[in-house]
Structure 1
Amino acid sequence: MPSLLLVVFILQLVLHIINTVGANTINELLWILYNKFPTPTHNAAQKVTALKRDIVRLKRELGLVSAQDDFARWAKLQRQHDKAMAEFQKLDSSLRTHQTRFTSTVATLRWLGTQGLRFALQFWFAREAMFWIPHGWVPYYVEWILSFPRAPLGSVSINVWGIACASMIALVAEAGRAVYVLATTRAVRQGVEKEKPMAFEAKPGAEKRPPKSEQKSSKKEL
C-alpha cells in the first residue's frame, strides 16, 4: 500500500495540473479520445468529420463555378452542399447531446477522484500524524498550528501536509516557468544578434590612399 504522504502529494499534483491546464481543455481531450475508441458515438464522430471536409470542399468548388456561365454544375454542387449541411447539422446536434452527458459524467468522476478524495482523506485521517517533529525544535504555538485541526500535538496533520505539498508544487511550477521564459528569451536574443551585420573596424595607422590619377598628377607637378 502506498504511503499516505505520497498519496496526498500525488493528489495535490493532479489538482495543480487540472487547475493549470483547465477543466474544459481536459474535457475536450477526453471527448476526442473517447470517440477514437469503438464507442457508441465513434461512427457518428467519424461521419461528422468526413462531412466537414465535404462541406469545405463543396464551398470551395462553388466559389470557382459561375452560376451564370455553368448553371447546371453550380446547381448540382449547391444541392450536394445543402444535403451535406443538413446531414451534418443533424449528426452534430446528436453528438452535442452525447457530449454534454459525457462532460457531466467526467466532471463528476473528476471531482470524486480529486476534491472528494481529498476531503475524505482529511476527514478519515484527521487524527493521524503524517510524521513527528523532534521535541523542542519549534515553539508550542507552531506545534499547535502544524497539528491543526485534530492531529496529536508535535506532529504534522494531513491538512497541513496537503497545504505544504500544494505550495511546494506551485513554487516549483513557477520556477520552471521562469527558467523556460529566460531560456527562450535568451535564445531569441542571441538569434537576433547573430542576424545583425558585423561592422569591421579600420586598422590603426591605416590611411586612405589617394586614387591613382591623383598620384600621377602629383608626380607631374613635382
Structure 2
Amino acid sequence: MATLFLMVFVTELVSWIGQSVLLEFFYALYLRIFYGSTVARQRQLKSDILLNKKELLQTSAQDQFAKWAKLRRSVDKGLADLEKLNNELSSARTAFSLKFKTALWVMTTGLQFVIGWWYRKAAVFYLPPGWLGPLTWWLAFPFAPAGSVSCGMWQMACRRVIKVGERVAKELVVPSGGSTAGQVPTEQERKEKEEAGKTE
C-alpha cells in the first residue's frame, strides 16, 4: 500500500518538477564526473581562441605577415579542435538523454505497470462488508477479489489525492487573485498555456 503510494508520488513529483529540469541537473553531474577534463579543455580552447582572435585583429597582415599567419593558423586549428570537442559532448548529451529518459520511465511509469500487472489478482486491502454497496465490485476491478481494492484502483486513488494535494498547496502558496509574477511556471503549466494558445 505504502510502496504503491510512494511510486505514484515520485511519478507525480517528476511530472511537477519537469523532465527537462531533471535532465539538465543530472547531465551537469554526469559531465562533471565523466567528462570533466573534456569540459575544462573546451573552456580553455574557447578562451585561447578569443585571445588569439583579439591579437589577430590587432596585427597587420601586411606589416607583420609572419605573426599574422601564425595567429591565423592557431585560430583555425583551435576552431577545428573546438568543433571536435563540441561534437563529442553533443553525442554524449544525446546518449545520456536517451538513457536518462528511458531509466526515468522504467523507474516510474514502467514500474507501476509491472507491479499493477504482477499483482492484478491481489487485494491491496479489504473494505468493510457492504460499505459501498453495489459499487464495491468497481474498486476490485479488474481481477482483485470481491470486496477489496485492486492495485490499479489504489494507484488511481493515490494519483487523485496527490493531484488534489498539489492544487491545495499551490492555492495556499499563491492565494487566488494574488500575483504570480516572478514565479517560474512548472513544465505542466507551460504545456497548458501552449495548448490554450493553440485553441485560441
Name which of 29, 34, 59 aligns with 2:25. Answer: 29
Deviation for aligned residue 1:150: 0.7
With over 3 angstroms needed to count, the CA separation of the structure-2 counterparts of 1:184 and 1:110, relative to structure 1, is same
Deviation for aligned residue 1:58: 6.3
Structure 1 segment 81-120 matched on structure 2, within 5 A: 81-120=75-114
The number of residues matched between the two structures is 179
Q: Secondary structure at the match of 1:47?
A: helix
Task: Give the root-mean-square deviation of aligned CA atoms.
Answer: 3.2
Alignment deviations for residues 68-107 of structure 1 (CA, whole Å, 9 cap, x no partner)? 7xx86x9577665544333221101011112211222222
TM-score using structure 2 length: 0.73
Name which of 1, 6, 11 aligns with 2:7. Answer: 11
What is aligned with 2:165?
A: 172
Amino acid across the alignment from 1:174: R
Structure 1 segment 181-196 matched on structure 2, within 5 A: 181-182=174-175, 185=178
Alignment deviations for residues 182-201 of structure 1 (CA, whole Å, 9 cap, x no partner)? 39948x9xxxxxxxxxxxxx
Mapped partners of 1:162, 1:170: distance in 2: 12
Q: Secondary structure at the match of 1:151?
A: coil
Deviation for aligned residue 1:124: 1.0
Q: Secondary structure at the match of 1:156?
A: strand
Mapped partners of 1:51, 1:89: distance in 2: 10
Deviation for aligned residue 1:22: 2.4
Amino acid across the alignment from 1:34: Y
Amino acid across the alignment from 1:127: K
What is aligned with 1:49?
A: 43
Query: Which runs of 5 or more residues in structure 2 are unaligned?
Result: 182-200
Q: Secondary structure at the match of 2:85?
A: helix
Q: Secondary structure at the match of 2:175?
A: helix
With over 3 angstroms needed to count, the CA separation of the structure-2 counterparts of 1:54 and 1:20, relative to structure 1, is farther
TM-score using structure 1 length: 0.67
With over 3 angstroms needed to count, the CA separation of the structure-2 counterparts of 1:93 and 1:184, relative to structure 1, is farther
Name which of 108, 113, 116 aligns with 1:122. Answer: 116
Q: Which has the larger radius of gyration?
A: 1
Amino acid across the alignment from 1:44: T
Mapped partners of 2:139, 2:86: distance in 1: 54
Mapped partners of 2:138, 2:27: distance in 1: 43
Deviation for aligned residue 1:56: 5.8
Deviation for aligned residue 1:126: 0.9
What is aligned with 2:186?
A: none
Pick which of 151-160 and 18-27 moved more.
18-27
With over 3 angstroms needed to count, the CA separation of the structure-2 counterparts of 1:45 and 1:184, relative to structure 1, is farther
